[in-house]
Amino acid sequence: MNAIKKYADLVKFSHTIFAMPFALMAFVYALWEDDFGAANSNPYWWITLLVQVVLCMVFARNVAMGFNRWADREIDARNPRTANREIPAGKISPRAALIFVALNALFFIITAVTINPLTAWLSPVALAVVMFYSYCKRFTSLAHMVLGLSLSIAPVGAYIAVRGEFALEPCILALLVMTWCGSFDIIYALQDREFDIKNSLHSIPSHFSVRTSLYISIALHVVTIIALFWFVSYLPQNIWIWSGAAIFTLIIIAEHILVTPTRQRNIGIAFGTLNGLASTTLAGLVILGILLS
């Protein structure tokens, strides 16, 4: 159990709360579009598919964060905020972390292959994106958006798992996730602004003032809200779905009230608590609204 906890801490498993709700939302939306598989002779076919999608999410998450911790091990060791992470603290060796990443990458591809041909072909692309993020801070301030892109794969992948094809709607949801994640990652990066500047690491806060960084974060969140209501326009129109969109929007606004250029002590609450609440509430009410339509 201790080993499981160490690896769960390594990959910050609790942070699946950011992408998983959007994957489930896209999954249920795809089922609704497909009339919940009415033509399928097995009424429970979707359960197996749901397990496959969740496993892909878990394996991809493990690859992304495990590789990130391995790639950043020397940087993390120099940063007082991250020096106690599993690899620099000696709780997990770099070699063990890399083996963990390789195994999860293999499990991800195997699981994707069992879903449909398109998920099989796209699985290496997804892994390449989530692993590429780990090196972005070394050369571009757009690392926040690459992180957002890696999370935005989740709803598109879940939709493709059900339908076996691309569509506009999950791509709109991906835009929502990419800008939402990119925005709150800018807020999170404010904690390391001085360290990043000193160590020539790239981020929005290390290249701009705190005030300008927060303006960029707000602008990205504006795009997030536009994408949200664009996606909602394709859904059944009922009180549950609109309530989910409204609550998500209010939480985003609250995030920018809590974190200002002169008040940054609430970054932890804004990053973890509020964004986790936003994603789960939106997904729960949207899924409920679809199922009750």
How many structural domains does the chain have? 1
CA angle (29, 220, 286) in 5-degree steps? 20
Task: Supply the range of the domain harboring residue 87.
Answer: 2-291
Region 163-175 average pLDDT: 96
What ranges make up the beta strands (E) of 102-176?
none
| Burial category of 10 from C-beta neighbours within 10 Å (exposed 0-12, middle 13-18, buried 19 and up) | buried
- Sorting pLDDT into bands at 50, 70 and 90, what band is 1? low
- Sorting pLDDT into bands at 50, 70 and 90, what band is 126? very high
**Is 67 a residue whose pLDDT tops 80?**
yes
Which among 251, 236, 249 is positioned nearest to 288, based on CA atoms?
A: 236
* Residue 238 belongs to domain with CATH number: 1.10.357.140
Region 5-30 average pLDDT: 85
Average pLDDT for the chain: 93
CA 194 distance to own-chain centroid: 26
Q: Which two tokens stand for residue 39?
A: 């033509």
Residue-wise pLDDT for 40-59, tens only, equals: 777 788 999 999 999 999 99
pTM for this model (two decimals): 0.94
CB atoms within 10 A of CB 51: 11
